[in-house]
Amino acid sequence: MASFHFSLYSMALILVLAALTSSFVPPTVSTSRLMGRSDLKTGFQVTLKRVDSGGNFTKFELLKRAMGRGRKRVDRIHAMVLATVDVRVEAPIHAGNGEFLMDVSIGTPPVSYSAILDTGSDLIWTQCKPCTQCFNQPSPLFDPKKSSSFSKLPCSSDLCTALPMSSCSDGNCEYLYTYGDTSSTQGFMAAETFTFDNVSVPNIGFGCGLDNEGGGFDQGAGLVGLGRGPLSLVSQLDEPKFSYCLTSIESTKISKLLMGTLASDIDLSRDTKTTPLIKNPSSPSFYYLSLKGITVGDTRLPIKSSTFAIKKDGTGGVIIDSGTTITYLEKQAFELVKKEFVSQIKFPVADASGETQLNLCFTIPSNTQEIEVPTLVFHFEGADLVLPGENYFIADSSGIMCLAIGASHGLSIFGNYQQQNLLVVHDLVKETMSFVPKHCDQL
């Protein structure tokens, strides 16, 4: 049986990682000048941190907290997908929220903020003065009057036209952007200089939110959309290649987002797995992948080929998402995965769903010194992605080990727990996504 081995040290169960080879040291970034859209030749990197970083939480606690937020996000995404096939829904719904904060400065002179990174939506926005309805945020509200580079966008602008919902007031573009749990941001569109890692980019279009309602945004001062639509940061930079590398959930080290040539000049090793990006016209912001099947141990599961396909009405399919914590598989596929792990792992199944919020857990006897865990392979089109053990099992000192995968209906999501210590490269010219094993804390 193909497997990963696990060992117990002291009171804690520690998952032994499959060795991740090679390292990447980005070139030095020149930060001495203001850059335009087509002038991002040196690229830049942005530090990412998990929203719970700095808290005194165990690995299990971190996962449970993230899953609580992730479950709400999954509900939002499902609502968004269903809204695309329901003509009665007037306001388009977007994913929103996320698990990572990115550092960004806005205005001239630049003022530093932390914003939620979201690969599942497009709009860039922050809360602005004077705010009629705003949530509490860790930094002061952005004040347009204190920036010399601020300007409102006219209704005739391309970005205004690209908004799912907009209106015109005194020639200025106003917007409403809604999320799946009734959260929303409303205000006017503007252009401003954004600074990333001391690289300044002028005329980034963003929403100046004056009425921001709902929960889940107060970890930061707004949101930076990295989706595939024209409003996103990726599209506005006209730099269709970016990558991120996420450290493990309990790591105190920061993760990285790479843009421009820092994403393009990566030495793709022989361990790189590349698969096509799929488009879904009904949900154009998401990055869809073609998942053909799953193997547990040496067993290719009998999952129907249609299980992970995008249906004619726009539902179904598999998205890769940085803002959803664990992977959620269409229920019939998840049940097959669950059944096969139960069959191959020779430990008692534990009823720990209430405590862990996970669907499959095992009780590990206290005298166990080594655990053999079947390998897990996601067979994407053209890429058989073999995950290291710590990317799909989690254990703690209480003797409980759980599968960090859940069940869904209508859409499958490849979450960030499964993306730990993988450099995930988005190439929107070749329409591909690549996975490169990396020590993300060493980038």
3-state secondary structure of 26: coil
Is 267 known to be catalytic?
no
Element (H, E) at 68: helix 59-84
Is 118 known to be catalytic?
yes
Say whether the peptide bond before residue 130 is cis (omega within 30 degrees of 0). Answer: yes
**195, 112 in Cβ contact below 8 A?**
no
What are φ and ψ of residue 411, in 5° steps?
-165, 140
**CA–CA gap between residue 183 and residue 195 (Å, rounded):** 27
3-state secondary structure of 276: strand
From the list 86, 321, 427, 441, the catalytic residue is 321
Those residues with Cβ within 8 angstroms of residue 367's Cβ, 6 or more apart along the chain or in another chain: none
**CA–CA gap between residue 28 and residue 191 (Å, rounded):** 28
Those residues with Cβ within 8 angstroms of residue 176's Cβ, 6 or more apart along the chain or in another chain: 91, 165, 166, 184, 185, 186
Q: What are the CA-CA distances from residue 395 to residues 50, 156, 166 (Å)? A: 20, 55, 48
Question: Residue 391 carries which DSSP code?
Answer: G
> How many Cα neighbours within 13 Å face the side chain of 239?
25
Q: Which long-range contacts (CB under 8 A, 24 or more apart) does 354-359 make?
A: 355/400, 356/60, 356/64, 356/400, 356/402, 357/64, 357/67, 357/68, 357/71, 358/67, 358/326, 358/394, 358/402, 358/403, 358/404, 358/406, 359/334, 359/403, 359/405, 359/406, 359/407
From the list 118, 211, 267, 298, the catalytic residue is 118
Please, where are the H alpha helices in 85-163? 158-162
Closest CA to 303 of 224, 400, 168, 412: 412
What are φ and ψ of residue 81, in 5° steps?
-65, -45
Catalytic residue list? 118, 321
